[in-house]
Amino acid sequence: MLVATDVYRPAAIDQLITLGKQIDVPVFELGSDVNPVEIARQGVEKAKAEGVNTVIIDTAGRLQIDQDMMAELAQIKQIVQPDEVLLVVDSMTGQEAANLTRTFHEQIGITGAILTKLDGDTRGGAALSVRRISGQPIKFVGVGEKVEALQPFYPDRMASRILGMGDVLTLVEKAQEEVDLAEAEKMQEKILSAQFDFTDFLKQTRLLKTMGSLGGIMKMLPGMGKMVSAEQLEQGEAKLKRAESMINSMTSEERKNPDLLAKSPSRRRRIARGAGYGEPEVSQLVSEFQKMRSLMQRDGSGRVSGDAGNGREPL
Ligand SMILES: Nc1nc2c(ncn2[C@@H]2O[C@H](COP(=O)(O)OP(=O)(O)OP(=O)(O)O)[C@@H](O)[C@H]2O)c(=O)[nH]1
Ligand SMILES: [Mg+2]
């Protein structure tokens, strides 16, 4: 049974009656001249007498919190002793959602929340505020105006949404499993001092592989999933594979010193033969490697900046 206690907003009772008809649930109402506490009391009494198993009391909501209204809610709670007190939070309201939750939780005590308007373009950070401020769970979400748009809340989906559909936590976990911190520091020093060579590049490539496919890693980065096409990823992976087989055909001297290759066409030809590619491809690898190295140096932080970081040339 639905109990209509919003006597303040003119159309609220009619709205509930319409909803009740639509979902075939009885609505208890006493018009708008009776005190809401009294309506709630009589509603629950009638429901009990009729053997109704679930009663939802629809109370008045206001964005600006009003003291009289809060006192009325507290009274309804005291008289009815509800199993649940659910606060409906509009996820589009941002910081206001946090204030609303705080006031309601402090003054009334909620047992959970319903987060609506998630069909809008908000990420739903309000979910975090509600949980942090009240410690109570979100039980349902609204993703549209129809009744079916009220759905159970799934925390993992919400987390993905807030993170922009990425899964940064999984990526961080994976990286921590695979990366040796001491090794990573050594690598950074090498990059900064321009000693980063083909051996290091090979190590990095292998590390990337142990973490999964390029596509898999990209998908875990917020926003990247959509930015990079499947085709680009395939090209990137093929390029890495090609680079790996060329590096495998280099002598250890050549791996440490890419300049040797830049200067010597005969060395490049030998590597091309060994790896099963043409000399131009080896030249390209060497020149791209040198370009990358100088970019890393210029940036000085070890992070690749500018164009090299946009995934267009995944070397
Ligand atoms: N798009 C969208 N609209 C929603 C959602 N939830 C509610 N609405 C719409 O928002 C408007 C207000 O909904 P109500 O259910 O009247 O909100 P309320 O919190 O009871 O508001 P008051 O009774 O004035 O306190 C209606 O037009 C709803 O259809 C949602 O999840 N998505
Ligand atoms: Mg309402």
The superfamily (CATH) of domain 2-162 is P-loop containing nucleotide triphosphate hydrolases (3.40.50.300)
The answer to whether the 2-162 and 168-309 domains have the same CATH topology is no
Least confident stretch, 6-15, 55-64, 201-210, 282-291: 201-210
- Residue 258, SS3 per DSSP: helix
Looking at ligand 1, which residue's alpha carbon is closest to its atom 16?
12
Residue of 2, 69, 122, 145 to test ligand 1 pocket, by largest number of atoms within 8 Å of CB: 145
Q: What is the number of helices (H) and of strands (E) in the chain?
A: 16, 7
Residue 270 has a pLDDT of: 95
Confidence of residue 125 (pLDDT cuts 50, 70, 90): confident
Q: Which atom of ligand 1 is nearest to the CA of 118?
A: 31
Q: Which atom of ligand 1 is nearest to the CA of 141?
A: 31
Nearest-angstrom CA–CA distance, 112 and 92: 18
Q: Which atom of ligand 1 is nearest to the CA of 60?
A: 25
pLDDT at residue 314 greater than cutoff 50: no
Residue 245 has a pLDDT of: 93
- Token pair of 19 as six digits: 């909803």
Nearest-angstrom CA–CA distance, 162 and 125: 6
Nearest-angstrom CA–CA distance, 65 and 287: 66
**Residue 61 Cα to ligand 2 middle (Å):** 6
Residue 308 has a pLDDT of: 41
Write down the mean pLDDT value for the chain: 85
- Token pair of 9 as six digits: 């907003």
Higher model confidence: residue 65 or residue 290?
290
Residues β-bridged to residue 115: 89, 141
**Residue 90 Cα to ligand 1 middle (Å):** 8
Q: Does domain 168-309 have CATH number 1.10.260.30?
A: yes
Nearest-angstrom CA–CA distance, 74 and 269: 84
Residue 161 has a pLDDT of: 76
Nearest-angstrom CA–CA distance, 74 and 88: 16
pLDDT at residue 315 greater than cutoff 60: no
SS3 helix, strand, coil % of the chain, rounded to 5?
60, 10, 30
Tell me the ligand closest to 10's alpha carbon.
1
**Residue 114 Cα to ligand 1 middle (Å):** 11
pLDDT at residue 257 greater than cutoff 60: yes
Q: How far is CA 262 from CA 108, 146, 251, 265, 273, in A?
A: 74, 66, 14, 8, 17
Confidence of residue 298 (pLDDT cuts 50, 70, 90): low
In this predicted model, what pLDDT tens digit does every residue of 137-182 receive, in sequence order?
A: 999 999 899 898 899 998 888 877 777 655 666 677 777 777 777 7
Q: Where are the chain's structural domains?
A: 2-162, 168-309
Confidence of residue 306 (pLDDT cuts 50, 70, 90): very low
Q: What is the mean pLDDT of residues 28-52?
A: 97
pLDDT at residue 250 greater than cutoff 60: yes
- Token pair of 282 as six digits: 């080896």
Question: What angle do helix axes 230-248 and 279-299 make, rounded to 10 degrees?
Answer: 100
Residue 72 has a pLDDT of: 93
Instruction: Give me the amino acid identity at 264.
Output: S
Nearest-angstrom CA–CA distance, 82 and 292: 65
In this predicted model, what pLDDT tens digit does every residue of 89-123 receive, in sequence order?
A: 999 987 889 999 999 999 999 999 999 998 877 77
Residues with beta carbon inside 6 Å of ligand 1?
A: 6, 9, 12, 60-61, 88, 116-117, 119, 142-145, 149
240-267 b/e (C-beta count within 10 Å ≥ 16 → b): bebbeebbebbeeebbeebebbeeeeeb
- Residue 241 phi, psi dihedral angles, 5° rounding: -65, -40
- Residue 44 phi, psi dihedral angles, 5° rounding: -65, -40
Q: Which atom of ligand 1 is nearest to the CA of 149?
A: 31
